[in-house]
Amino acid sequence: MRQTNSASKNNAPRNNAPRNNKLKPSSHLIMNGSVRVRVIRTLLAIQDGHSLSSVLDPLLNSLHDGDKGFAHALLLTTLRQWHALARLLDTLADNPIDEVEVRTTIQVGLVQLLYLEVADHAAIHETVEAAKEIEFAHATGLINAILRKVAKNPSKFRKKCDKKHSLPNWLAYQLKQDWSEQYDALTQGLRQVAPMFLRVNSAVTSVEDYQQSLYGAEIDADIVELTTGFNVANSSETTTILSTKGLRLHQTTAVNALPHFSEGIASVQDMHAQLAAPIINKALMAKLNAEKSDTENTNNEIHILDACAAPGGKLAHWLELLSSNDSSSLFHVKQDDAEAKPLASKLKLTAIDNEAPRIERIYDNLQRLNLKQQDLEQAEKNIALNVVCADATRWQHGKNKKAATNEPVFDAILLDSPCTATGVIRRHPDISILRTEEDIEQTALLQADILHNLWPQLKAGGYLLYVTCSILKQENVEQMQDFITHHNDAAVIEFTEACNWGIAQTIGRQCLPIDSESGDGFYYALLQKTAE
Ligand SMILES: C[S@@+](CC[C@H](N)C(=O)[O-])C[C@H]1O[C@@H](n2cnc3c(N)ncnc32)[C@H](O)[C@@H]1O
């Protein structure tokens, strides 16, 4: 039996911190036995270093439909309350409990009693039976005794459990350093269930019309409108204001219940994640507008980069904006202006990511949204999409071509950087088990390497939008401060007070997942390259 409760950092949730991929399949992933046994095994596999996203489907697929909801709630709630339950457990036993299997089983029992309102006798009996099935019958007396003690006064123990955060101490400490004012609300917010948001494909319909379709399907949703203001130095309009609308569902809903989901009319995407594509797109338009007034030359080919693109959520959003016929499109011309020309005659979009399996998910997403290359060609949008599997710390555009010039080629870069994903713990509560303190430093170094490699590939006057879903300053505002200190040709584009999202930082804005109705903990900073 293993004697520690510390998780390996290997194979941390996919889209984020650096990891090594040598993780062996966990022996705990054999899915048989009762629902509780399977949930306990899944939690043990997560403690072995497997991410929730890699073990959730095998768990749910192994169950009858009638059991899936309970298993899902049991697993996710145990993960959300994990560290608080572990602390409570330490106060309940006379002697320290070291065996991971026993601790995990008791935590699963506690969740049923304190958070899921499972009847006492069922919670205790079934959990003890699960312990027997997993072959540590030697601990059933202890498990039984602890659960009975809690069942006598659940509200007292629930209060105790809710009192502090449910994070590893190193992370709570760092959040206290970074966000002392927001600390209590933030750490409580991170244990809650995140709301479900939809992005509506603006190339196909409006948010208002899709809200009506949802009502028709008896799904209630509110329109959420985020306003962004930023000052573009060399644009004729100094302050750019843009509005981003999405939908927040009143209840989490299976995607196949959403009208026309399979036809690509809507996508599940956090509201704060929906800011990325409109901001970089608007900045790109500001650049092209500025150049247009300089040269009157609009017969131009634009090249843009999505630097860490998989599974393609923000890439698809950007393509939706580029494909729509409204003023967010570079190819749009006002109907009543015969003289007007589009801002771009042709657009090349390169998307890179270093994980081949995740790149497959880009193709799946684009297929559902009718945004594959053939779709773009049929729509006569003149957009050439190139998806590349490459390491953004080293990749150079055109490096493999004979005629490579090493000239900067990109007019705009979206860098949705790998990060510790501490801003999305509500959706991926396994992060609070899988991350280690060392990940912060390692991730910050990776981010700096990517920035360092991509920046020379951005044209003078071009924009780079740096995005993370982290709430740690080292990966965000401090990363940006360090970057501009070492890059004299980087100008910070300030977000103005018109922004109704996030907290202004010395560079960029930070969203915190405090409010149960708001989006995840994203960070945004917009940089422009000045003339060399
Ligand atoms: C935050 S996720 C991107 C999410 C994506 N932009 C979206 O909206 O769906 C970060 C991505 O960076 C990728 N990544 C991590 N290290 C990388 C590297 N060195 N080079 C390229 N991509 C990397 C990961 O595979 C992951 O897909």
pLDDT band, very low/low/confident/very high, at 9 (cuts 50, 70, 90): very low
pLDDT band, very low/low/confident/very high, at 7 (cuts 50, 70, 90): very low
Does residue 13 surpass a pLDDT of 70?
no
Give me the mean pLDDT over the 37-42 stretch: 96
Is residue 181 situated within a structural domain? no
Is residue 273 situated within a structural domain? no
pLDDT above 70 coverage of the chain, percent: 87
Is residue 212 situated within a structural domain? no
Does residue 83 surpass a pLDDT of 60?
yes
Closest C-alpha residue for ligand 1 atom 16: 418
- CA angle 197/413/309 to nearest 5° reads 50
224's enclosing H/E stretch is strand 221-231
- The whole-chain average pLDDT of the chain stands at 90
Cα of 116 from ligand 1 centre, angstroms = 35
Relative to the CA of 15, which ligand 1 atom is closest? Answer: 26
> Is 131:140 a contact under the CB 8 Å cutoff?
yes
Tell me whether residue 313 is annotated as binding.
Answer: yes
- CATH number of the domain to which 494 belongs: 3.40.50.150
Closest C-alpha residue for ligand 1 atom 2: 15
pLDDT computed for residue 32 by the predictor: 78
Tell me whether residue 311 is annotated as binding.
Answer: yes
Cα of 418 from ligand 1 centre, angstroms = 5
- Reduce the DSSP state of residue 237 to 3 states and report it: coil
Cα of 175 from ligand 1 centre, angstroms = 24
Cα of 101 from ligand 1 centre, angstroms = 33
Does residue 103 surpass a pLDDT of 80?
yes
Tell me whether residue 309 is annotated as binding.
Answer: yes
pLDDT band, very low/low/confident/very high, at 323 (cuts 50, 70, 90): confident
Residues 319 and 452 in one domain: yes
Domain boundary among 148, 164, 180: 164
pLDDT band, very low/low/confident/very high, at 292 (cuts 50, 70, 90): confident
Is residue 489 situated within a structural domain? yes
pLDDT band, very low/low/confident/very high, at 28 (cuts 50, 70, 90): low
Chain centre distance of CA 492: 24
Relative to the CA of 306, which ligand 1 atom is closest? Answer: 6
CA distance 407 to 397: 9
pLDDT computed for residue 328 by the predictor: 63
Is residue 312 situated within a structural domain? yes
Does residue 262 surpass a pLDDT of 70?
yes
Domain extent at residue 100: 27-164
Give the CA distances from residue 278 to residues 11, 122, 242, 468, 491, in Å, rounded to whole numbers and listed in that order. Answer: 32, 50, 8, 16, 20
- The answer to whether the bond into 311 is cis (omega within 30° of 0) is yes
Is residue 405 situated within a structural domain? yes
Is residue 259 situated within a structural domain? no
Q: Residue 532, Cβ neighbours under 10 Å: how many?
A: 9
- Probe residue for ligand 1, chosen from 20, 354, 439 as the CB with the greatest number of ligand atoms within 8 Å: 354
Domain boundary among 113, 135, 164: 164
> DSSP readout, 91-118?
HH-SS----HHHHHHHHHHHHHHHTS--
CA distance 87 to 372: 50
State the residue for tokens 């509200």: 155
Residues 312 and 450 in one domain: yes
For 343-366, the pLDDT digits (tens) are 777 899 999 999 999 999 999 999
pLDDT computed for residue 512 by the predictor: 98
State the residue for tokens 């150079």: 396
pLDDT computed for residue 334 by the predictor: 57
Does residue 294 surpass a pLDDT of 80?
no
- CATH number of the domain to which 78 belongs: 1.10.940.10
Cα of 419 from ligand 1 centre, angstroms = 9
- Probe residue for ligand 1, chosen from 308, 360, 449 as the CB with the greatest number of ligand atoms within 8 Å: 308
For 216-235, the pLDDT digits (tens) are 999 999 999 999 999 876 55
Cα of 285 from ligand 1 centre, angstroms = 25
For 392-422, the pLDDT digits (tens) are 999 999 876 555 556 899 999 999 999 999 9
Tell me whether residue 326 is annotated as binding.
Answer: no
pLDDT computed for residue 4 by the predictor: 35
pLDDT computed for residue 327 by the predictor: 62
Domain boundary among 133, 164, 195: 164
For 181-220, the pLDDT digits (tens) are 999 999 999 999 999 999 999 989 999 999 999 999 999 9
Is residue 54 situated within a structural domain? yes
pLDDT computed for residue 376 by the predictor: 80
Relative to the CA of 311, which ligand 1 atom is closest? Answer: 9
Relative to the CA of 469, which ligand 1 atom is closest? Answer: 1
Give me the mean pLDDT over the 269-290 stretch: 94
Tell me whether residue 310 is annotated as binding.
Answer: yes
Q: Which residues form the pocket of ligand 1, taking CB atoms under 6 Å from any ligand atom?
A: 15, 308-314, 352-355, 358, 391-393, 416, 418
- Probe residue for ligand 1, chosen from 11, 14, 15, 54 as the CB with the greatest number of ligand atoms within 8 Å: 15
Q: How many folded domains does the chain comprise? A: 2
pLDDT computed for residue 342 by the predictor: 72
Q: State both tokens at 291.
A: 């150049």
Higher-pLDDT residue of 401 and 467 is: 467
Q: Is 0.90 exceeded by the ipTM?
A: yes
Relative to the CA of 450, which ligand 1 atom is closest? Answer: 19
Residues designated as active site: 469
Residues 157 and 299 in one domain: no
